[in-house]
Amino acid sequence: MASLAQAIRMALHYGESKLSVDDIFGQDVGPPLGGAFTVTQGLTKSWNSPLDERGIIGMATGLGLAGKRCVAEIQFCDYIFNTLDLLKLAGNASWSSNGEFNMPIVVMTPVGSGIHGSIYHSHSFDAWAARIPGWKIVMPSTPLDAYGLMLSAIEDPDPVLYLIPKALMRAKGEELIPGEPSSDKELRERIDAPVDPKARVKWKANWPALEYYTVPIGKAKQLREGSDATVISYGRQMSLVTQTADMLRERGVNYDVFDLRTIYPYDWDAIKQSVEKTGRVLFVNEDTEIANFGEHLLRRTCDELFYSLKVRPRLLAGKHIPGIGIHPNLENVSVPQKNHIEQEMIALVEDPA
């Protein structure tokens, strides 16, 4: 099965060969490196930009104004902060011009902790991103969704921010991407660039016959079905939630678990239906907890589903501190780990109604 990085790479290849993507660019995106996480290896439309995040987002926005589809990368979301005003401009191109222009671009960037990335390679961006109207924001947690969401993002007429949970880059999926060879070894040999620099210069990817497959933007995915409580998450924490749900199922507790997949426009119908069924809900993500996106979901839950709730709704998020410390003793208490998730999920069902 493809890893998340391989899945995105294949989606980008589908984009450059079938969906008119002419520019896939950013720092180290082109050869020889093909991206800090190998996401852009072997692509024919990838190129290296100057080390200039504002230039990268500006270039992408200009391409969008020219009606071109592109995928730009910011190497780590920790470095996207100096482009916030440019993201705002991209998000308001349609609205401010009263519909004269649209902005069919994709910006992708790795987010979150989990690779001992210290202060400048561990930040989250989902809460910031959700505050930039005009954008659609997606965040896959599996390779198949990563493939399908990238194709949807490329085809979307509006700007899409594609957040990649970097701790999952090497995580393999459980479902084949349409057209993906079933052998890991074969896939590796066909689309992973050789490590040897000399061999890499001559290397060309031998792409499998990939097929069109999309995941609609705005649709959550139900991962586990249960009637005792609801857990909504996305990104890196998703698999920790499902693992915990499976473990607790053995103890007789059944959780409704959803991967939001799209942070905006999020799938309120899915949340609403589940909360109305269970009356108990926990939102989990790793961004810092103040003005966290989960806080918005909590607010809407209280506003619209108050009388369906049996107990207080909960949010488990990262600590509101200026960074993630590099030592595991620090990182593991800064962002939700499996033990925190387990603790909250148990507390959620044990809260007296």
Partner 1 sequence: MAGKKLSPEKLREIHALMVEARILEERLIKMNKAGEGYFWIGGPGEEAFAIPFGMLINKGQGIQHDFLHLHYRASATILAMGGESIDSIRQMRAVSTDPYSGGRNFVNHYAIKKWNVVPVFSCIEPQYLQSLGTAHAQREAGCKGITVVTGGDAGTAEGDFASALVWSSRPAGELPLLMIVTNNRYGISTPWEGQHGEKYISDRGTAFGIKNAVINGNDVFEAWEGLESAMNYVRKERKPFLLEISVSRLYGHSSASGAPRWNEEDCIDVFEEKLIKQKVMNKDQIKSVHDAALKKITDAYKQVQKEAFPDPSSIYDYVWTEQNGDKGRDSFAAQIGVDFTQNPPPAEHH
Binding status of residue 98 toward partner 1 by CB under 8 A? yes
Q: Of these, 1, 2, 36, 86, which contacts partner 1 (CB under 8 A)?
A: 86
Residue closer to partner 1, measured from CB, 50 or 197: 50
Residue closer to partner 1, measured from CB, 70 or 240: 70
Binding status of residue 208 toward partner 1 by CB under 8 A? no
Catalytic residue among 13, 116, 121, 327: 121
Span from 34-42, 44-52, 242-250, 305-313 in contact with partner 1 (CB under 8 A): 44-52
Q: Of these, 15, 34, 64, 148, which contacts partner 1 (CB under 8 A)?
A: 64
To partner 1, the closest distance from the beta carbon of 198 in angstroms equals 22
Rounded to the nearest 10 degrees, what angle do helices 4-18 and 143-155 cross at? Answer: 30
Span from 34-42, 91-99, 193-201, 284-292 in contact with partner 1 (CB under 8 A): 91-99
Q: Give the largest CA-CA distance in the chain.
A: 65
Binding status of residue 218 toward partner 1 by CB under 8 A? yes
- Contact between 114 and 167 under an 8 Å Cβ cutoff? The reply is yes
Q: Of these, 18, 44, 81, 97, which contacts partner 1 (CB under 8 A)?
A: 97
To partner 1, the closest distance from the beta carbon of 59 in angstroms equals 5
Which candidate, 135, 134, 161, places its Cα nearest to that of 150? 161
The pair of structure tokens assigned to 131 is: 């505050």
- Contact between 6 and 35 under an 8 Å Cβ cutoff? The reply is no
The pair of structure tokens assigned to 60 is: 């992408």
Hey, what long-range contacts does 342-347 have (CB within 8 A, 24 or more apart)? 342/244, 342/247, 342/248, 344/282, 344/284, 344/314, 344/316, 345/229, 345/231, 345/241, 345/244, 345/245, 345/248, 345/255, 345/282, 346/248, 346/253, 347/314
- Contact between 189 and 164 under an 8 Å Cβ cutoff? The reply is no
To partner 1, the closest distance from the beta carbon of 170 in angstroms equals 31
Q: Which of the residues 108 through 167 are near partner 1 (CB under 8 A)?
A: 133-134, 157-158
Binding status of residue 63 toward partner 1 by CB under 8 A? yes
Q: Which of the residues 257 through 276 are near partner 1 (CB under 8 A)?
A: 265, 268-269
* Number of C-beta neighbours around residue 276 at 10 A: 13
- 340 included as an active-site residue: no
3-state secondary structure of 334: helix
Burial (CB < 10 A; 0-12, 13-18, 19+), residue 58, is middle
Q: Provide the binding-site residues for partner 1, judged by CB under 8 A.
A: 23, 47-50, 52, 54-55, 57-68, 70, 85-86, 89, 93-102, 104, 133-134, 157-158, 218, 265, 268-269
Kindly list the catalytic residues: 121
